[in-house]
Amino acid sequence: MCTAATYKTKDFYFGRTLDYEFSYGDQIVITPRNYSFHFRHVGDMEHHYAIIGMAHVAEDYPLYYDAMNEKGVAMAGLNFVGNAAYSEVQSNVENIAQFEFIPWILSQCSSLVEVRELLERINIVNTPFSEQLPLAQLRWIISDENESITVESMSDGLHIYDNPVGVLTNNPPFPQ
């Protein structure tokens, strides 16, 4: 079972376990500020915060499992099998594919205050990366030095919960 945890003393720490019996070719990936992110439904982002994390790189695109940006905002995607559901593309919102969610948040948010604002206008959509890399059923923990939240995309919409302990595992849904 994967687990992500924060630890705060005088410094802020964020980490996670990635409990797989095999590797997807994951590696430490640094995405510099000037790397051009292409987002399937909202276009390109040329200027953003630098990001470092664990990812599988496919077609020169970092598919992050977990990462942190240069401002100290960190997040991880954890298995949410049987509960995760993503929407169709909608108008008047920012449609972000599930695999784009980590770089979308970390590229432009310097705090959880900004993350919450961005989440108000986001729709996580069911666009797979490719036929060979289908949708992963995930939920996310997002943290900065002050707080943590859990984000779950389910059939009844996007749910955002305060996570006062700063820990997240796989299933069950957060309120349970």
* Phi and psi angles of residue 79, each rounded to the nearest 5 degrees, phi first: -55, 140
- Give dist(CA 128, CA 142) in Å, integer: 22
* Residues linked to residue 94 through DSSP beta bridges, in sequence order: 122
Exactly one of 2, 96, 102, 106 is catalytic; which is it?
2
Instruction: Establish whether 109 is a catalytic residue.
Output: no
Cβ–Cβ under 8 Å, residues 110 and 73: yes
Cβ-in-10-Å burial (0-12, 13-18, 19+) of 117 comes to: exposed
- Give dist(CA 131, CA 165) in Å, integer: 37
* Phi and psi angles of residue 98, each rounded to the nearest 5 degrees, phi first: -55, -40
Q: Which residues have a catalytic role annotated?
A: 2
